[in-house]
Structure 1
Amino acid sequence: MARNWFTPLLLLVVTGCSASTTGQAHPAGGELPDAADGRDYAACADGNCEVLVTKPVDLPAGGRGDVDTLSITRIGPAGVDYELKGAHGGGSGNLTTGCVSTFYEGGGGSACYSGAVPRPEAQTGVLAVRLTGASGAGAVVQLVSGPPGPPPESLVPHIPGFGG
């Protein structure tokens, strides 16, 4: 009997980005942009919100992108540190202004931009997170997700010998 050693996990290798973010980060003590949902963290339960965080907080993500909870653990002048908890595992990392992190069953990734950071597009099975501003006093965190389901085929890892 062959042993199936491959079990899907939310394995996360996401770190801060070092792209130029001119005009994206707000210096310590600077004003943050308005957050559409203010401090209503429950608004994130469907995987779609924009909230102001000023201290460590747990944001519900409703299982979108295989993430049940996105915990903001530290807020700094250029970004936040976070931990993820989901049905198939978890992970941790940091997110800086100028970058977008995406999470989905079996993986995740990050993209960084120089200049304006586009609002992520909603995709089935994917949770995207970006900062619209950060300072030493707080950060505005935006979550964007599509409906639950498997992520797009282009995101599914294919391992030779395991149906790929």
Structure 2
Amino acid sequence: MLRPAVTGCSTSTIGQAHPAGGELPNAAAGRDYAACTDGNCEVLVTKTVDLSAGGRGDLDTLSITHIGRGGVDYELKGAHGGGSGNLTTGRVSTFYEGGGGSGDVPQPEAQTSVLAVRPTGASAVGAVAQPVSGPPGPPPESLVPHIPGFGG
């Protein structure tokens, strides 16, 4: 899956002014984005951050572009396109070649060539991003779309 190594962080802070009582959520690795180089981490995001997907899930980059109390906005870039959307706090979103989804599951699961991300503890000034990924390779058979009449 994603091997979220930080490829670069912008200098613009997402929450320029910290609102009164706006506490930052806790993350296991704090702001140490190098902890994501193996594709599995829990980091605090307070400004735009680009995490390298290393081709996992058919993606090159996961960018956190905005933080709000309900979750984080993201952009995906890959060899075959990309997309954008919102990752909702407490929900696990998965991305893989040709697809993706979101659901209420307790923890993201590491699967080959799948990036799973769960934002937790979002506030107006920061959010905890928890990407989880397995090794690169073809996605699990259950995620491969089957075309009737072609091999099964």
Q: TM-score range by the shorter chain?
A: 0.7 to 0.9
Q: Deviations over 1:41-92 (max 9, x none)?
A: 2332332111111122211222222222110111111111100112222111
Note the 1:72-91 alignment, pairs <5 A: 72-91=64-83
Moved over 6 A (4+): none
SS of equivalent to 1:135: coil
Does the 8 A contact of 2:70 with 2:122 survive in 1?
yes
Tell me how large the CA RMSD over aligned residues is.
1.9
2:94 pairs, out of 83, 102, 123, with 102
Count, aligned residues: 133
- 1:143 aligned onto 2:131: yes
Task: State the distance in 2 between where 1:139 and 1:96 align.
Answer: 11
| The 10-residue stretch of structure 1 (48-57 or 29-38) with the greater mean CA deviation from structure 2 | 29-38
So what's the TM-score if we normalise by structure 2? 0.78
Task: State the distance in 2 between where 1:35 and 1:73 align.
Answer: 18
Task: State the distance in 1 between where 2:150 and 2:83 align.
Answer: 24
SS of equivalent to 1:56: strand
Q: Which has the higher strand share?
A: 2
Task: State the distance in 1 between where 2:90 and 2:27 align.
Answer: 17
Contiguous gaps of at least 5 residues in structure 2: 1-19
The CA deviation at 1:159 is 2.1
Task: State the distance in 2 between where 1:121 and 1:74 align.
Answer: 24
